[in-house]
Amino acid sequence: MKDHQHIADALQARMAQLSERVERLEEDLRQPLDPDFAEQATGMEASEANEALEGASWAEMAQIRAALSRIEDGTYGICVSCGDSIAPARLEALPFAQQCIDCARGR
């Protein structure tokens, strides 16, 4: 797993950021809505946006967990479709990539 240590470090840092963001969002969602109607409408829109953002954060965290476990078990950087190694430049740009560029393009 040492091969991809710097990617693992970056993913773990990103994971920490995301879990902090999710915590903050959940705190906001727990705030009671303002009784004033105009304020309430804005509050509801904001909480919908927060929920969308929270969902996106969870999705990204799931991808990070999957990438980290592939790094752990030594399958990280190997295309799940053809078994070739994924180009390092591609992994830098897209650390969650599970396919090489050829398979991703549907060769």
Query: In the complex, which residues of this chain contact Zn ion (CB under 5 A)?
Result: 79, 81-82, 84, 100, 103
* Residue among 53 and 87 whose Cβ is closer to Zn ion: 87
| Cα–Cα distance, 103 to 27 (Å, whole number) | 41
* Residue among 74 and 83 whose Cβ is closer to Zn ion: 83
- C-alpha 72: how far from its chain's center? 18
CB of 19 to Zn ion, least distance (A): 32
Contacts by 77-85, CB closer than 8 A, 24 or more apart? 77/3, 77/4, 79/103
CB of 5 to Zn ion, least distance (A): 24
* Residue among 25 and 79 whose Cβ is closer to Zn ion: 79
Task: Give the helix/strand (H/E) hosting 24.
Answer: helix 5-30
CB of 66 to Zn ion, least distance (A): 17
CA dihedral 43, 49, 54, 55 (to 10 degrees): 130
CB of 90 to Zn ion, least distance (A): 11
* Residue among 55 and 83 whose Cβ is closer to Zn ion: 83
